[in-house]
Structure 1
Amino acid sequence: MTQAPVVDSDLVERVAGILRDAAAEHLLPRFSGGGAPARLKSCGGLVTEADNAMQDAIGGALAESYPEVGFLGEEMEPDEHRRALESADCGLWCLDPLDGTSNFAVGIPIFGISVALLVRGAPVLGVVLDPVRDELFTAVRGGGAFLNGEPITVRDTGPLERAVGCIDFKRLSRDVARGLAASQPFHSQRNFGSSVLEWCWLACGRVDFYLHGGQNLWDFAAGSLIAAEAGADVATMDGEPLFEGDILRRSILAVAEGNLRAELAPYLCPDEGPGQR
């Protein structure tokens, strides 16, 4: 039986090279004018020519180098996502070819490219590229997390009242969002519009927690591994492991220190509202 690729530094470098080459050819030239035409997808998100070009280029390069490994990309149809996940006998590449499409489309330079290698339904390798700032975040399961080859760790945070968090209020239930906005138990909050970068900014200490009511697999597959390898406590909002059950969509609460999960819990009410799981 054919095996998944050996996960080591050579694989990280090869995948990183594929992302850099695709960004240089298909992404950054389209952004040089400060924006790009976009259309609305059936799911409500935006898509540009760059999203599809990036998926074709990266998916093609991965298939050429690792033909035995399955592939799941954001711009595939939902039934294709499910089939890819269920038939990944020798591993599965999970790609977000352009995360932050809304930013990209209007000229905001905050977007990233993310690819993870999943084996038996969990990530063993994660690579996220921020092409604007030339920041490459990487992790191999059990090997730590890195930014441009240098080790990174989460920040020593302290209590919630001193913490800075990434919160996507739009994806939270109305009651939870209103409660958090009204009480503001944290020092400050941000939302940058690119999930894959927000995961990595938690990993390198730029924020202290990350709260999101519902992400797709390609949004968290690589970033959650990078954050976990940097020392973050990574789970759903109600404390369940991300990679158990139906992993195609999960809520997110990732924290630099476990006390932040406990301090945030009273504000979240994870069993209230359909957007929490």
Structure 2
Amino acid sequence: MSPEPSQSDPSLKSLAALMRELAGAEILPAFGRVQARSKADGSLLTEVDLAVQERLINALERLTPGIPVLGEEMTQSAQQRLLSGASPRDPAAGEAGAFWALDPLDGTSNFACGFPAFAISLALFRNGRVELGIIHDPVRDECFSARLGQGAWLNGTPLNSAQNCERLADAMALMDFKRIPPGRLSGLLRKGAFRSQRNLGSVALDWCWLAAGRAQVYLHGGQRLWDYAAGRLIAAEAGVVTRLLPPGLAESTEQLTLEPRLALAAAHQALFDQWWEHVGLPWQD
């Protein structure tokens, strides 16, 4: 059983029910049947992304009045204003610098093409850190959730990342090749580096599957706040060792930013150390 929330937070159970309802009404009926268009950054957008974002924002305004929502499909200027205003140093900012970070449909390209790997991702920030994360996979009806310092769960069952993989050569790797410098690929893929490799096309599910022990190491070259906020908390609370790094640097950072971050993770510290050495950061390509 997941712990009781603080008085100012909705329960994980109520958030899971809300996500399941939205998925049944907006996402699953349109799966593989919706038209997508390209955004300025080349990623895809559908009417489903916008509908889920609008409905979730309205629901969260009722559940947690005074806590704004930073959604992926908002304009960048609106996102930046909200992020700046949510600084814990700003006494005028909502509830102690609190805000929700929402990706209404992580894996839109998968969704539009009929590939069954996408999710709704939602995280609650307070004072610059994530306190709650919840991710709903509509296809598998799997709801991953976590509270800072209290654990992570899959449909209410506690999660622990796989601890029985000691050698990198035995690990399943999740890697996104699109955002890795081409000159680094041959070294990453050298024979014997890991057992096998997958790319789900959904950052939120990448983190959740790490938490569930379905993979043991992870590398993604550029994900944004709404991509990693909920999933990284879920993975960390399940025991996964994680780092977020600015491109070209080897020092981790927890600074809130809209800029992309390289993500590196492994199921436990000994495996992370092997993975870190293999990946060879920082990249200067």
| Distance of 2:121 and 2:253 partners within structure 1 | 17
TM-score (norm 1): 0.91
Matches of 2:203 and 2:146 in 1, distance apart? 17
In 2 relative to 1, CA 143–239 (structure 1 residues): closer, same or farther, beyond 3 Å? farther
Pairwise mapping of residues 197-208 of structure 1 onto structure 2 (< 5 A)? 197-208=205-216
For 1:117, the equivalent position in structure 2 comes to 124
Q: Any conservation in 2 of the 1:8–1:140 contact (CA below 8 Å)?
A: no
Taking a change above 3 Å as real, the CA distance of residues 247 and 126 of structure 1, as seen in their structure-2 partners, is same
| 1:177 corresponds to | 185
* Contact 1:176-1:269 at 8 Å conserved across structures: no
The 8 Å contact of residues 128 and 256 in structure 2, kept in 1 or not, is answered as no
- Is contact 1:210–1:255 with CA below 8 Å preserved after alignment? yes
Q: Pick the structure with more helix per residue.
A: 1
Kept after mapping to 2: 8 A contact 1:94/1:115? yes
Matched pairs, number: 268
Give the corresponding residue for 2:227: 219
Q: Does 1:107 align with 2:99?
A: no
Give the Cα separation in 1 of the matches to 2:204 and 2:139: 14
**Worse overlay, 178-187 or 238-247:** 238-247
Aligned mates of 1:28, 1:82 — CA distance in 2: 31
Q: Using the alignment, how far apart are the partners of 1:61 and 1:108 within structure 2?
A: 28
For 2:11, what is the secondary structure of its paired residue? helix
* Mapping 1:1-277, distance limit 5 Å: 6=6, 11-31=11-31, 34-88=32-86, 89=93, 90=95, 91-156=98-163, 157-183=165-191, 185-236=193-244, 240-244=251-255, 246=257, 248-273=259-284
Instruction: Provide the rounded CA distance (Å) in 2 between the counterparts of 1:149 and 1:68.
Output: 28
1:82-119 residue CA offsets vs partner (Å, 9 max, x unmatched):
11111123211000000111110011111101000011
Q: CA deviation at 1:63?
A: 1.2
Structure 2 counterpart of 1:48, one-letter code = T
Distance 1:165 1:77, change over 3 A: same
Deviation of the 1:266 alpha carbon: 3.4
CA change 1:178–1:7 in 2 (3 A) is farther
Q: What is the one-letter code of the residue matched to 1:50? A: V
Aligned AA for 1:14? S
- One-letter identity of the residue aligned with 1:257: H
TM-score by length of 2: 0.88
Number of the residue aligned with 2:90: none
Distance change >3 Å, CA 245–CA 150, structure 1 → 2: closer
Partners of 1:135 and 1:8 in 2: CA distance? 25
User: What is the deviation of 1:240?
Assistant: 4.1
Q: Structure 1 residues 221 and 245, CA, compared in 2 at 3 Å: closer, same or farther? A: closer
Contact kept? 1:234, 1:242, Cα under 8 Å: no
Equivalents in 2 of 1:9, 1:55: separation in Å?
19
Q: Distance in 2 between matches of 1:35 and 1:264?
A: 39
Distance 2:192 2:79 in 1: 37
Q: Deviation per CA, 1:19-62, whole angstroms, max 9, x where unpaired?
A: 1121111111111xx33210000111000111111101111110
CA distance 1:8–1:178, shift in 2 (3 Å): farther
Checking the alignment, whether the CA contact within 8 Å between 2:239 and 2:267 is kept in structure 1 is yes
